[in-house]
Amino acid sequence: EAHKTPTRIQFYESSMSSRMTERLLLENDLHDALANQELFLEYQPQLDLQTGQVKSVEALVRWKHPKKGWISPGVFIPIAEESGLIIPIGQWVLETACKQVKRWEGAGLPPIKVAVNLSLGQLFQQNLVGMIHNVLEKTQLEPQYLQLEITESMTINIDHMTTILHQLKALGITIAVDDFGTGYSSLSYLKDFPIDCLKIDRSFVQKIQSSSTDKALVDTILSVAKHLQLKVVAEGIEEIEQLSYLITSNCDTVQGFLFSKPIHPNILQENYQTLHEN
Ligand code: C2E
Ligand code: CA
Ligand code: CA
Ligand code: CA
């Protein structure tokens, strides 16, 4: 009994330091991940509820660590942000996604718009707008096929955000607010920021049936979007009941496991081709 407390403390400390060591090791490996071609993109189809077609996809980064296997972006994106690696990784993601859209186009698929996630660090990088402009030039992607996803938590400097977003809009690309409703920022930025689309966070969507509060929040977001003439993508649809509710509520677009998980770009292409052959 007397040994119980010290043993626990020791266990706690060693697990703390092993977690920190683990993080440092991962950061170190992440440095080489790009050069070693360990990063990949998957694409999650978004279903247009008007037409029932896939007109857009979200690009999601994957890391296949040589020893540890697949590591979730929920784990390595925060490390990339803290270490500054998000700048080269973010640029690689953008360029790879734009190239992929052109590749699908070349394979005869109907036009597909790609949504790419932007991180806070990228918003403050030197010449983000110039970098995106260059990627569009280099890949020859028409800007209307690129959407950038920002989050409410990025609106820490309203003036800077407003400037950057207007410059991005001037390039001809569109902007979506990701995880909408989960941040604590004021709704008033919606009238200052040149935003095109709101993505309803999956935490609300998944409780549409079980919580009247969450259902009310979804209704409110749809209504705000309608008044401001913004498109809405509902995320994280896993159940048919969620889909039917969103169809009845005139939501524009849905994304979720019910319809498709994020997939390899070649699989998306094959699915598309078989779908249209029949
Ligand atoms: P996010 O931007 O909110 O992306 C949506 C996440 O929800 C993805 O997780 C996707 O796989 C997952 N998801 C989609 N449909 C469903 C569903 O029906 N049910 C459930 N339970 N989950 C669903 P993923 O790919 O693990 O990405 C996690 C987060 O990592 C992303 O959240 C985003 O914040 C970040 N991330 C991923 N790729 C990138 C990237 O290229 N750049 C940046 N900056 N962040 C990225
Ligand atoms: Ca996103
Ligand atoms: Ca999201
Ligand atoms: Ca999220």
The mean per-residue pLDDT over the stretch 43-63 comes to 96
H/E stretch holding 11 reads helix 4-33
Is the separation of the CB atoms in 44 and 255 below 8 Å?
A: yes
The mean per-residue pLDDT over the stretch 23-50 comes to 96
Confidence of residue 276 (pLDDT cuts 50, 70, 90): low
Atom index in ligand 1 nearest the CA of residue 81 equals: 44
Given a cut of 60, whether residue 191 has pLDDT beyond it is yes
pLDDT of residue 7: 54
Confidence of residue 1 (pLDDT cuts 50, 70, 90): very low
Given a cut of 50, whether residue 43 has pLDDT beyond it is yes
Pick the residue whose CA is nearest to atom 2 on ligand 1: 117
> Residue 14 class from Cβ within 10 Å (0-12 exposed, 13-18 middle, 19+ buried)?
exposed
Closest residue by Cα to residue 102 from 130, 133, 135: 135
Confidence of residue 8 (pLDDT cuts 50, 70, 90): low
**ipTM score:** 0.98
Cα radius of gyration rounded to whole Å, the chain? 21
Q: What is the DSSP string of 143-180?
A: GGGEEEEEEGGGTTSHHHHHHHHHHHHHHT-EEEEEEE
Given a cut of 60, whether residue 2 has pLDDT beyond it is no
**What is the value of pTM for the model shown?**
0.93
Given a cut of 60, whether residue 63 has pLDDT beyond it is yes
The first and second tokens of residue 23, run together, are 């993080």
* Ligand 2 centroid to residue 58 C-alpha, Å: 7
* Ligand 2 centroid to residue 62 C-alpha, Å: 14
Structure-token match 């279903």, residue found: 47
Q: Which of 46, 60, 70 is the pocket-test mutation for ligand 1 (most atoms within 8 Å of CB)?
A: 60
Q: Which of 77, 100, 241 is the pocket-test mutation for ligand 1 (most atoms within 8 Å of CB)?
A: 77
Q: How much of the chain exceeds pLDDT 90, in percent? A: 81
**Contact partners, residue 235, CB within 8 Å, separation at least 6:** 179, 199, 200, 201, 202, 205, 255, 256
Pocket of ligand 1 (CB under 6 A): 44, 59-61, 72-74, 77, 93, 117, 119, 178-179, 202, 236-238, 255-257, 262
H/E stretch holding 123 reads helix 120-123
8-state DSSP, 261: -
Pick the residue whose CA is nearest to atom 43 on ligand 1: 117
Pick the residue whose CA is nearest to atom 19 on ligand 1: 236
